[in-house]
Amino acid sequence: MERNVYLYILVMAGVTYLIRMLPLTLIRKEIKNPWVRSFLYYVPYVTLSVMIFPAILTATASIWSGAAALVVGSILAYCKKSLFQVSIVSCAVVFCMEWILPV
């Protein structure tokens, strides 16, 4: 069976277009249901978290250094530190953990 790359690209473009176009054409009124509004409000945050979480643990040589950086970064973010501070301290934690723990 011969695979046509252009057909795959066309199908992916069509699916992407439909996903973005259908809500605009089917939902004309303002959404007033508070549950649906809160659900739609948190979708981008959940999607970003689901994409980032596995990468945090697997981007380092040891899963333990990634987990330590995740814990420290979460604590700093909870304490309302800036994104720059959280990033720098998390990188420093990974560096120290990789230096201390053998691979």
Q: Which 8-state DSSP code applies to residue 31?
A: P
* 64 Cβ contact partners less than 8 Å away, ≥ 6 residues apart: 97, 101
Region 1-16 average pLDDT: 88
pLDDT-derived band of residue 23, with 50, 70 and 90 as boundaries?
confident
pLDDT reading at 94 higher than 60: yes
* 101 Cβ contact partners less than 8 Å away, ≥ 6 residues apart: 62, 64, 65
Given this model, what pLDDT does residue 102 score? 76
d(CA 15, CA 39): 23
Q: What percent of the chain lies above the pLDDT cut of 90?
A: 57
